[in-house]
Copies of this chain bind each other. A is one copy, B any other.
Amino acid sequence: MARIAVFLVCLALSATSALAQAKVSIEKLNQEWVAAFNKGDAAHLTQMYTPDAYVLPAGAEMAKGRGAIEAFWRGAMKQLGDAKLKTIDVQSLGPGAAREVGTFSFKTKAQPPQEVTGKYVVVWRKMGGNWQLATDIWNMNK
Which residues of A are in contact with B by a Cβ distance under 8 Å? 54, 56-62, 89, 91, 93-97, 99, 101, 119-121, 123, 125, 134-135, 137-142
Contacts and interface: CB of A to CB of B under 8 A. Distances in A.
Contact of A54 (B56, B89, B94): B89
23 contacts: A54-B89, A54-B101, A57-B139, A58-B139, A58-B140, A59-B141, A59-B142, A60-B141, A62-B101, A62-B119, A91-B134, A93-B123, A93-B125, A94-B97, A97-B97, A99-B123, A99-B134, A101-B135, A119-B137, A121-B121, A121-B123, A121-B137, A137-B138
Mostly, the A contact residues are: strand
A59 B140 contact: yes
